[in-house]
Amino acid sequence: MKNILNTQELPFCKGCGHDLIAKSTAAALEKSGCSPLDIILVTDIGCHGIIDTSFNTHTIHGLHGRSVSLGVGISLGLNNSDKKVIVFTGDGGATIGLQHIMEAARLNINMTIVIHNNMLYGMTGGQTSGLTPQGFNTTTAPSGNTFEQYDICGLAHTAGASYISRILGIGNIADKLAEAINTNGCSVVEVIELCPGYGMKLNPKRKLAEILESSGKSEGIWTNNRLPFAVDIKEEPTSLLKNLKAIEIIDKPQLKSSYTVLLSGSAGEGVQTAANILAITAVSSGYHVTQKGSYPVTVGVGFSTAEIIISPNEILYHGMTIPDIAIITSQDGLNHSKKRINLMNNGILMIDSSLSAPQTGARVYNIDFRSIGVKSASMFSLFYFSEISKILPHAAIFKAIEQHGDAHKIPLDKIKEIFRFDVL
């Protein structure tokens, strides 16, 4: 079987812990019976990231801090095949990509994350990272780092990874890495090491074990008894066009040109549903229709406005400056549409009787839309629209309500009583 590494001369500074991690990872994989093409090595940005060329495995070298997330994507794509996804990242990458590690742990993605923690950013000049211990000297904190470090193992354990270990990057660490690699689920290994370029020079005479101890941490193994994440694959998803309710045309269009309707009320009062029912009614009456909604970003408060264009011809532009009819069911709706109502030189304004009609050239009808209950005010207005405009018959509205599937939410009996309808 081909070796995992293609060279023993690795591209690291003399004395760098990355050398031990790379060789130990290779030894662990070989010990686990993996051949190079069983392995996908994902590397981050940082000194450790240049190791990929020394591996005979599949390799992918991505962005700073994103290698864990990229590895998650690969693992999801492979979906628990017998492949090993190994992610190498540094303490810098773990800092910038902390959320990605938490997500991999939370989902318990089948992969191994090896954090090369040399306690500073080695490639960019020895700056402090989120995993630099308090008191440790870096080029940007020459008198000692004043910040607390992240407990990356504690975080990964809390987030739910199957296996987490913290080890000193000294001596034989292959077996410890093999344990992580052979875990079913997400394993995270934090290897503590020193950067010969900066860490050793700036912290002379300090030893790894002492640094770890003085930071209040220790070597250890932590586990969660969880199954790895498995992608739920829909074998035969249904076409989005398959179960659409086709609209039966029951009438011929009476209008010769397009007619524009503005429905304006408050969120939560059924404006968009009423607009949809009106649109279905118009389609069934043989028209081309567009339905455009407008509302603030909050779903449950403020205005809710719908613009419906009904036309015997194909509709291209579906915007509406001045409507032919404006139906206002609440103060929010009035506030939002006042300017357009002012601009109406003719047409119809139907406005709830609790509101004062603004200045307009439209013919004004004051109607107590809200008496039916505020949640049905907008729906209720459609029947007055039908009565006053004569464009769409009541019967077609009832049929559209049936088709829409929200009939149970609409007080149809009350509406029929008020209008003395003899339909359905």
Partner 1 sequence: MQHKENSLVLIDASRLIIEGMACAGADSFIGYPITPANLLYLYASKRFPVMLPAPDEITTLQWMAGLSAAGKLPITATSFPGFALMIESINMAFMMELPMVIILAQRLGPATGTATCGAQGDLLLLRGLISGGHQIPVICLSDFADCWNLSAKAVHIANKYRTPVVIVTSKEMVMTQRSFDINLLEEINPVNRKFYNSEQAYIPYNPENNLIPEFLPLGNQKHQVRISASTHDNKGILQHTSDQAMENTIRLDRKIIYNLDEFTYYDLIEEKKADTIIVSYDITAASAREARELLKKKNINVSLLIVKTLIPVPNIYYEILARYNKIIIAEENVNGQLGKILFGEHKHKNIINIGSIGKMVSPLEIIKEVNV
Residue 1 binds partner 1 (CB under 8 A): no
- Of 61-69, 116-124, 151-159, 211-219, the segment contacting partner 1 by CB under 8 A is 61-69
Q: Give 297's contacts (C-beta < 8 A, 6+ positions apart).
A: none
Nearest to 66 by CA among 21, 96, 106: 96
CB of 377 to partner 1, least distance (A): 22
Largest CA distance in the chain: 96
Torsion of CA 96, 100, 106, 111, to 10 degrees: -120
Dist. CA 131–CA 188, nearest whole Å: 15
**Is 244 among the residues that bind partner 1 (CB under 8 A)?**
yes
Exactly one of 32, 182, 224, 294 binds partner 1 (CB under 8 A); which one?
A: 294
Choose which of 46, 62, 265, 270 interacts with partner 1 (CB under 8 A): 62
- Residue among 14, 225, 252, 317 that touches partner 1 (CB under 8 A): 317
Residues 8, 15, 63, 353: which binds partner 1 (CB under 8 A)? Answer: 63
Contact by Cβ (8 Å): 120, 198? yes
Q: Which residues, 75 to 114, sit near partner 1 by CB under 8 A?
A: 75-78, 81, 83, 99-100, 103
Q: How far is residue 386's CA from residue 378's CA, in Å, rounded to a whole number?
A: 13
Q: How many CB atoms are located within 10 Å of the residue 45 CB?
A: 21
Q: Is 44 helix (H, G, I), strand (E, B) or coil?
A: coil
Q: With respect to partner 1, which residue has the nearer C-beta, 209 or 343?
A: 343
Element at 419 (helix H, strand E) = helix 412-419
Which residue number, 205 or 242, has a Cβ lying nearer to partner 1?
Answer: 242
Q: Which residue has the tokens 């506030």?
A: 335
**From candidates 10, 31, 32, 60, binder to partner 1 by CB under 8 A:** 60
Q: Is 294 helix (H, G, I), strand (E, B) or coil?
A: strand
Reading the block at residue 360, the tokens are 């307009």
Q: Does 200 bind partner 1 (CB under 8 A)?
A: no
Q: Which of 171, 172, 205, 233 binds partner 1 (CB under 8 A)?
A: 233
Interaction of residue 297 with partner 1, rule CB under 8 A: yes
The tokens for 87 are 């992610």
Q: Which lies closer to partner 1 via its Cβ, residue 321 or residue 359?
A: 321
Site residues (CB under 8 A) for partner 1? 36-37, 40, 50, 52-53, 56-63, 66, 69-78, 81, 83, 99-100, 103, 231-235, 237-242, 244-249, 276, 279-280, 282-283, 287-297, 315-319, 321
